[in-house]
Amino acid sequence: MDEESDLDSTAELPVLDPAVMQAEVEDHSSTDTWAALPQLQREPQLPMDTTAEVAAIDLRSALQRLAAQADRLVQLENDREQLRNGRAAAEQLATTLSAELGRLEAGARQHQAHVDELTQARLAAEARAENASAELLRLQSGGDAAAAAELARQRSAAEQRAAALDAELARLREAAVQHTSQFAELTGARAAAELRVGRLEEELQVMRAARDTATQRGEQLQQRVTELEQAQAALEARQLNDEQARSERERLHAAHTAGVMADLHAERARAMSCFESAQHLAAGRGLFEALLSEERHQAELREAELGALRQELQARATRVEEQEHALAEQARRIAALEQQISASGTALSERDSQLREARRDAQGLHLSITRLQGQLDASGERVRALTALSSQHTTSETQRKTELSRLLAERVELTAELEAARAAAVAAAAAASEHEAALPPLRARTAESEAALAAERKRAADAEAELNTLRGEMEEWASAVKAAHHERGTLQAAQARVQELERLEVEHATELLKVQSQAQGSPSRVRELEQDLVAAEEAVHRLESEARSRSIRIEELEKTVAELRAAVAEAARAVAGPATTAEVAGPADGGLRRDDETERPLSPAPDGAARLLIRTDGGREIVYVLGRKTSVGRTPDNDLQIDAKFISRHHAVILAGPTQTIIEDLNSTNGVQVNGRRITRQPLQDGDSVSIGRQQYRFAVRKNNDKR
């Protein structure tokens, strides 16, 4: 700021006013105690400064007139070139008209020959008709009726042919008249073209004469400039001679030594003033060179930042490809999980079918056991009956014993079958118990697999959405990089302008040295150079403001890069899964925190939760649902438009990620406050108070099933 105020303030520079300096000289020279002898008084000095200024003004006016004459000469050259082009076009048109005229003349001659032929044919036909009439009269008088009829027919045919020839002759005459009129028109057009060519030649001669006059005038002006330069040199020589004569007179007149000393002091004061002015100009030049070097350094830094941004863009593209590969890997994992779930479902259905078969086998075994038990009971009853019968019927003892042995053997077999059936039933029950015990874990694993599949599908969908968002933001960032390249080209143009100003500064410094050597002769030139220096300083200030605007634009690009980093980190956490998210959430969040933010624990938003901005107006709440990227500003192109004077065109942006919501100030005038503290970039928590300009909001996170 001090350097800029030094450049803006010119109060310290001396005012090189000839009248004031002459008054100072007169103040130093006047005294009441000096006695000037009449015969030793100095001769009055010639008005050298006035003569030099008049000569300089004449020289500048002559140069201006010479420049005007040069412009007029260029204009005359352009007019001459246009006249040459017009003359060439007129000559080409005359050639075309001459060719058309020759063609029409040849056609007219052909028509005239045809008319002559038709006229001769008509005359011959009339002669034949007269001969035929005479012959007809002779034949009629001689009484030859057939010959007379033949002659009459020939006469009528001759008359018809003569009528046809008359019609053709009339048509040809009309065509000849038309050709004659066309010939006259073309002749007139040719004459007009020749007349126009003559006028163009006359104008060309006039232009050439004007060019010669302008050239002579330029030569005269150049001679006048040379004469003025010679007069200036003669004036300087005369001034030098006068100065030498004055020095000689001052050396000879010892009585005026004190006056001479006063004059010398005055000249020394003027020289010191010029020297101080030169020092101030040199200091301004040094400051200007320092500013230029700083601008070059800033341009190099911006170039390095652009290179870093390009590398960052390449790294982001690589990370996007890696995330796409990770997304493909997630898709393969989802397919594998789906295959595992289908295999588990198949195994579960097989286990269910085996369990149903085992239950059916157990039921069959129970039925067999019941049937065998009934048969055993029936056999026991039969044995008891046979035993009673054997006691009653001793006569058939042998048969009964045989029957009893058979029944006993059958009972033993039935008992063995019953034991085997009971063992099979126990084994079937144990197998059924094992199947039933293995069924809940399998169902639990199936449910877990289905839940994991649903979660993986949701994460894949979120990752795909994040990836699409990231691609869109990468495209926006690429457009921002293109804009940065455009800004870089503008900055290079500004550097070229700075170099041009440096060249002008060097020229001004050279002229300033000349002015210092001719300080007494041309003070007006010093003022002109000072004005040029002020103009150069204004140009430097303008370039500095442009550089500041470029810096603001680059800061906006850096903010965009920070947003991309946040989006990439959130996409990486969304793709990596819950465990990886838990591991990298801390470092990623720490990377997004600015120096001016206060660290506080961040609680991730629940899945499927809505981020809201709530404004209370007249006792009722107005709710704004936030998207993944919500822009806030005064213009209609913002997602949340606040039509108020205290809101900037693009005031702030709110980024809603899977784990946190971040609000960022876009270099607005009235800023953004969170919980009463102005921020640049800040993560939001449920219940935070957000002030955008003078508008108060409350940030809230609500689940989809929350009916508040």
Indicate if 233 and 302 belong to the same structural domain. Answer: no
Indicate if 129 and 210 belong to the same structural domain. Answer: yes
Neighbours of 547 (CB within 10 A): 20
Query: Beta strands 640-641 and 629-633: pairing type?
Result: parallel
The CATH number for 636's domain is 2.60.200.20
Q: What was the pLDDT predicted at 30?
A: 46
Indicate if 514 and 612 belong to the same structural domain. Answer: no
Q: What is the average pLDDT across 515-540?
A: 64
Question: Contact, 55 vs 232, CB < 8 A?
Answer: yes
- Closest C-alpha to 180, from 108, 123, 237, 119: 108
The range of the structural domain enclosing residue 708 comes to 596-708
Indicate if 59 and 149 belong to the same structural domain. Answer: yes
Indicate if 77 and 143 belong to the same structural domain. Answer: yes
Q: What was the pLDDT predicted at 594?
A: 39
The structure tokens listed for 581 are 């998210």
- Closest C-alpha to 51, from 529, 528, 521: 521
Indicate if 225 and 303 belong to the same structural domain. Answer: no
Helix axes 48-142, 523-576, angle to 10 degrees: 70
| Residue 638 DSSP one-character state | S
Mean pLDDT (the chain) is 73
What is the domain count for the chain?
3
**Residue after which a domain boundary falls, among 250, 278, 303:** 250
The structure tokens listed for 667 are 């270099």
**How large is the greatest C-alpha to C-alpha distance in the chain, in angstroms?**
207
pLDDT (tens digit per residue) in 123-168:
887 787 778 777 767 776 765 667 777 777 877 887 787 788 788 8
Is 259 inside any structural domain?
Answer: no
The structure tokens listed for 78 are 């352009």
Query: In the block, which residue shows the tokens 């936030």?
Result: 626
Exposed, middle or buried: residue 403 (CB in 10 Å: 0-12, 13-18, 19+)? Answer: middle
Indicate if 332 and 202 belong to the same structural domain. Answer: no
Is 555 inside any structural domain?
Answer: no
Indicate if 226 and 147 belong to the same structural domain. Answer: yes
pLDDT (tens digit per residue) in 367-379:
777 777 777 777 6
Is 10 inside any structural domain?
Answer: no
Helix (H) or strand (E) holding 58: helix 48-142
Question: Contact, 165 vs 120, CB < 8 A?
Answer: no
Query: In the block, which residue shows the tokens 């246009």?
Result: 82
Indicate if 600 and 492 belong to the same structural domain. Answer: no
pLDDT at 46 exceeding the cut of 60? no
The CATH number for 210's domain is 1.10.287.2610
φ/ψ region of 143 (left if φ > 0, alpha if ψ in -120 to 50, else beta) reads: left
Is 554 inside any structural domain?
Answer: no
Indicate if 510 and 622 belong to the same structural domain. Answer: no
Indicate if 302 and 203 belong to the same structural domain. Answer: no
**Residue after which a domain boundary falls, among 232, 250, 268:** 250
The structure tokens listed for 68 are 């005007």
Indicate if 236 and 109 belong to the same structural domain. Answer: yes
Is 332 inside any structural domain?
Answer: yes
The CATH number for 490's domain is 1.10.287
Question: Contact, 600 vs 687, CB < 8 A?
Answer: no
d(CA 244, CA 468): 89
pLDDT at 234 exceeding the cut of 90? no
In degrees and rounded to multiples of 5, residue 666 shows phi and psi of -95, 50
pLDDT (tens digit per residue) in 442-500:
677 777 777 777 777 777 777 777 777 777 777 777 676 677 667 667 777 766 777 77
**Residue after which a domain boundary falls, among 497, 514, 540:** 540
Is 583 inside any structural domain?
Answer: no
